[in-house]
Amino acid sequence: MTRLRLSSVVTALLAGFVSVSRGFSVTGPRTLLVVEEETKELFQTLIGDLEARGFQLDIRSAKSESLNLFQHEERAYDNIVIFPTKLKGLGPNLQSSSFLNHATAGGNLLILLPSSSEGNIPSAITELAGQVDVFIPPKGFSVVDHFDTADEEHTTLLVDLPTFPDNTKNYFASGDDPSAKILYKGAGLAIGNSPLVQPILTAPRLAYSYDAKEASSYADDESVFSAGQQLALVAGVQTRNSARITFVSGGDIFADASFTKVAKTNKMTANRAFAKDVTAWTFKETGVLNVDVVEHWGVEFGPNIINGDVYRIKSDVTFSIGLSEYKYDHFEPYTVPETDALQLEFTMLDPYYRIPLAPATTKLGLQGTYKNSTVYTTTFRTPDQHGVFTFAVNYKRPFLSNLLEKRAVTVRHFAHNEWTRSWGISGSWPWIGGIWVVVVGWIAFVGVWLWSKPVAPAAAGKKKQ
Amino acid sequence: MQAGAESGSWRRAQEHVTSNDTLELPPRRRHLFTLADIAETLTPFPRSSLLSGSKLLAAGLLLCQWAAAAPPSWTFADATLQISQKGGEAAPKQSFTPKSPIAGVQTLKPSDSLKILLTAKEGNKPMRPHQLFLLLKDPETGLESFFAFDAKESGKARLDITQKDIPTALLTAPSLTMTIAIASFGKSSPLSAEIATISPVLDQTAKKALPEPPLKYGKRPEIHHIFRGEPRSPPKIISIVFLGGVVACLPALFIAWFTLSANVSHLPKSLAASPIAHPLFFASLIALEGVFFAYYTSINIFQALAAAAIISPVALISGSRALREVRARRLNGER
């Protein structure tokens, strides 16, 4: 217990130190921008916004020979942004494998693909996308929407801010104006069925991505890449180690030229706020969960004995976990959406329980010291099976960093003096009664045997003689 | 981004969509403005009569242009839907129009194929649009998939669908709404019209062939441990009756002894003969039973052994003395 308290204090101190010295992203501030000089001019606002949020930018050309993502086998950068490029390849230092190594080491990646159907997509990017279940259409594809257009070519789309089912937190519509539209032009993406890949922005219902070169007169089955809600415009991948890779199929969505007013509605586009949301999520300024405290105790003894090693079968146990969520520069209590549930599993090979944890109303034990977390708790009865069990909270949700918290405890059998006593079992009453009848009868027999006076001693004497 | 900006179209798009001066409308986009938009352009300029006059005129002209040169809208005609069974007879063709969808729910069995024929028209002229899609939507989940028609330049289009073409996520839906979307580049206004509702019917083999739905992160089904049943006892009344029977044996035993003339009449005599040994022996026997009782209820085996170790020598010595007195009585013929 003391060890726990000490380690948490050390962690808190360390976290404070880290946040002061390293900027505000959970991963870190060292950010590599792979961008050519002429492209950089078009993204001044995005670059300025990133700098203002505390990212240390290293702006390099893909052609730069000294560029290396790893130094002494350690990640050289925390975040990488690949801007649209005219180059067909990104060079020997920026292979798809080095991007994957970067993500494996916990680094984040934001990839802006060209908006124009003439733009090139470097093969390293296509390969990387294929490896994480994201599919980029070949060169020459373009998304059109004839039903709600912003230009006469129908290739510029006004897309609503993303919405998600109500069991998913929306990290991508934090702008002031919820009705603002996102100006978009690009080729779109298709995403696979992997749970690690999530569409962030999808195309309007009647939009489609078609081969602009081959199918200029009619979009037949073969020249349409994807359409409608199945066509993602921005997609986010979160690897199992919670590194993030985001693909933006039309890079101009974040260009200075998109941060303007739309004539049709005479309102500012939502692009700048969306750019902030997407970069913040990708670089782990949002959607990062932290486990502040895990406590469990037997109801029988109360929270005086916290995080003990042994519980008895069929006894009530309370488990609680404190969660907080990172938001730009601080942790705040994490609230689970109402239709979602934080679930506790009590597992020995298979889960014996999978029950929801509810926000605690009173804080017990160490929990009072964690002001920035929501404490979720539940009480259940340990199963009638002894063995080594694990309290497991496995909380993996779209856009949230993966959370898997395990605590192993022994669940022992009843001790010999914990069983029901024999008199408590009504079926044993005749037998217990029998024992005591024998005891009393024997004592009485001893008395009679010791002190009985013969009734007719003369007769007995006669017989003897 | 260099490539995108240089392509020109993106730039032009920016110019158009960012234009704040509503009167200098890009002429090609007139059709996108409604009467309400135009009315709005009139209200901000009431002070300068000259300006407002000219703007009114401009707006009026615009309105005229808008009314006169209203762009044609995409539509379709001669549209029929037919469901035919493989090797069987085809069902009658059901015709529909953009405004009158087919009533009722069509069923699509595994061996059925669905055929839609239509002629796309721009205004009144048969024409091939750029987009001619059939959209299948599960209204419950909102999932939607599209099928591109096979269209000729004359505008005649045909689409054949069997269950194999429909994604499995939609196949398992109870009903799907069919929407036709016709649109193209240019000014003509697009059309999306709901035309029918279809319900895919799966047979056993088709159901077995369905793949497992993909893993999605989210709330998982709850599990609650089911405990083994508690050990059961017979009804208490039965136990009590039998307990009564057992306990009743004790008085029965005593009565039997007394009818056989058992008694304790020699007690005063014995006490007189050995006043210490007899009570001590009898008390130590009772005490030993008391130790057993205490062991049963509260004390542990070591405490019980200690107590027995103290009591048993007393029982042994006092017992031998007491039994010596009993032998003396026997030898006297008093037993």
pLDDT band per the 50, 70, 90 thresholds, residue B7: very low
Provide, rounded to the nearest whole percent, the portion of chain A with pLDDT above 70: 91
**pLDDT digits 0-9 by tens, A124-136:** 999 999 999 999 9
- Asked if the C-beta of A328 comes within 8 angstroms of chain B's C-beta atoms, the answer is no
Do B112 and B12 fall within a single domain? no
pLDDT at A38 over 90: no
pLDDT band per the 50, 70, 90 thresholds, residue A255: very high
Tell me the average pLDDT across B149-172: 88
Distance separating alpha carbons of residues A200 and A113, to the nearest angstrom = 15
Q: Report whether B285 contacts B315 (CB < 8 A).
A: yes
Q: What pLDDT, on a 0 to 100 scale, did the predictor assign at position A366?
A: 56
pLDDT band per the 50, 70, 90 thresholds, residue A430: very high
Q: What pLDDT, on a 0 to 100 scale, did the predictor assign at position A235?
A: 96
Look up residue B72 and give its two tokens: 């044609």
**pLDDT digits 0-9 by tens, A217-243:** 888 888 899 998 899 999 999 999 999
pLDDT band per the 50, 70, 90 thresholds, residue B38: very low
Tell me the average pLDDT across A84-104: 89
Residue A296 CB-density burial (10 A; 0-12 exposed, 13-18 middle, 19+ buried): buried
> Taking Cα atoms as reference points, which of B140, B147, B87, B80 lies closest to residue B113?
B87
Q: How many CB atoms lie within 10 A of CB A358?
A: 14
**pLDDT digits 0-9 by tens, A41-67:** 999 999 999 999 999 999 999 888 888
Residues of A in contact with B240 (CB under 8 A): 429
Q: What pLDDT, on a 0 to 100 scale, did the predictor assign at position B69?
A: 56
pLDDT band per the 50, 70, 90 thresholds, residue A368: low
Q: Report whether A141 contacts A208 (CB < 8 A).
A: no
Give the end-to-end CA distance of chain B in Å, rounded to a whole number. 126
Contacts of B206 (CB under 8 A, 6+ apart): B110, B163, B171
Of all residues in chain A, the one with the smallest CA distance to B222 is: A354
Contacts of B114 (CB under 8 A, 6+ apart): B81, B82, B83, B106, B108, B160, B161, B162, B198
**How many angstroms away from the CA of A437 is the closest CA of chain B?**
6
pLDDT band per the 50, 70, 90 thresholds, residue B32: very low
CATH class of A25-284: alpha beta
pLDDT, mean over chain B: 79
Q: What pLDDT, on a 0 to 100 scale, did the predictor assign at position A363?
A: 61
Q: Which of A118, A210, A427 is opposite residue B3, by nearest beta carbon?
A: A118
Residues of A in contact with B190 (CB under 8 A): 146-147, 206
Tell me the average pLDDT across A280-299: 92
Domain count, chain B: 3
- Asked if the C-beta of B142 comes within 8 angstroms of chain A's C-beta atoms, the answer is yes
pLDDT at B246 over 50: yes
Q: Report whether A280 contacts A187 (CB < 8 A).
A: no
Q: Which of A120, A251, A451 is opposite residue B264, by nearest beta carbon?
A: A451
B283, part of any domain: yes
Mutate to test the interface with B, among A426, A436, A443 (most CBs of B within 10 A): A426
**How many angstroms away from the CA of A102 is the closest CA of chain B?**
24
Q: Between these two residues, B8 and A272, which has the higher pLDDT value? A: A272
Do B61 and B84 fall within a single domain? no
**pLDDT digits 0-9 by tens, B211-221:** 888 888 999 99
Look up residue A394 and give its two tokens: 């496995």
pLDDT band per the 50, 70, 90 thresholds, residue B77: confident
Q: Between these two residues, A129 and A90, which has the higher pLDDT value? A: A129
Taking the alpha carbons of B35, B41, B44, B48 in that order, is the dihedral positive or negative? negative
- Asked if the C-beta of A309 comes within 8 angstroms of chain B's C-beta atoms, the answer is no
Q: What pLDDT, on a 0 to 100 scale, did the predictor assign at position A55?
A: 93
Residues of A in contact with B131 (CB under 8 A): 144, 146, 206, 208, 219
Distance separating alpha carbons of residues A241 and A235, to the nearest angstrom = 18
Residues of A in contact with B168 (CB under 8 A): none
Of all residues in chain B, the one with the smallest CA distance to A421 is: B297
Q: Between these two residues, A26 and B62, which has the higher pLDDT value? A: A26
* B10/A263 touch (CB, cutoff 8 Å), yes or no: no
Q: What pLDDT, on a 0 to 100 scale, did the predictor assign at position A456?
A: 64
Mutate to test the interface with B, among A152, A355, A389 (most CBs of B within 10 A): A152
Provide, rounded to the nearest whole percent, the portion of chain A with pLDDT above 90: 62
B216, part of any domain: no
**How many angstroms away from the CA of A14 is the closest CA of chain B?**
32
Tell me the average pLDDT across A289-303: 87
B152, part of any domain: yes
pLDDT at B178 over 80: yes
Q: Provide the residue type at B37 as one letter.
A: D
Q: What b/e string do you get for A385-401 counting C-beta neighbours within 10 Å, with b at 16 or more?
A: ebeebebbbbbbbbbbb
**How many angstroms away from the CA of B291 is the closest CA of chain A?**
13
Tell me the average pLDDT across A57-86: 91
Residues of A in contact with B327 (CB under 8 A): none
Tell me the average pLDDT across A276-284: 95
**pLDDT digits 0-9 by tens, A174-227:** 888 888 899 999 999 999 989 999 999 999 999 999 998 888 888 888 889 999
**pLDDT digits 0-9 by tens, B270-298:** 899 889 999 999 999 999 999 999 999 99
Residues 75-114 of B with CB under 8 A from A: none
Give the end-to-end CA distance of chain A in Å, rounded to a whole number. 89
Q: Indicate the pairing of strand A134-135 with strand A244-248.
A: unpaired
Furthest CA-CA distance within chain B: 156
Q: Which domain holds residue B41?
A: 2-69
Tell me the average pLDDT across A260-284: 89
* A218/B144 touch (CB, cutoff 8 Å), yes or no: no
User: SS3 breakdown of chain B: % helix, strand, coil, rounded to 5?
Assistant: 45, 20, 35
- 3-class SS of residue B261: coil
Q: What pLDDT, on a 0 to 100 scale, did the predictor assign at position A362?
A: 67
* A266/B20 touch (CB, cutoff 8 Å), yes or no: yes
Q: What is the DSSP string of A286-312?
A: EEEEEEEEEEEEETTTGGGS-S-SEEE
Q: Which of B2, B17, B145 is opposite residue A264, by nearest beta carbon?
A: B17
Q: What pLDDT, on a 0 to 100 scale, did the predictor assign at position A5?
A: 47
Architecture of domain A288-412: Sandwich (2.60)
Q: How many CB atoms lie within 10 A of CB B206?
A: 17
The residue out of B174, B209, B244 marking a domain boundary is B209
Provide, rounded to the nearest whole percent, the portion of chain B with pLDDT above 70: 79
Which sequence spans correspond to the domains of chain A?
A: 25-284, 288-412, 422-464
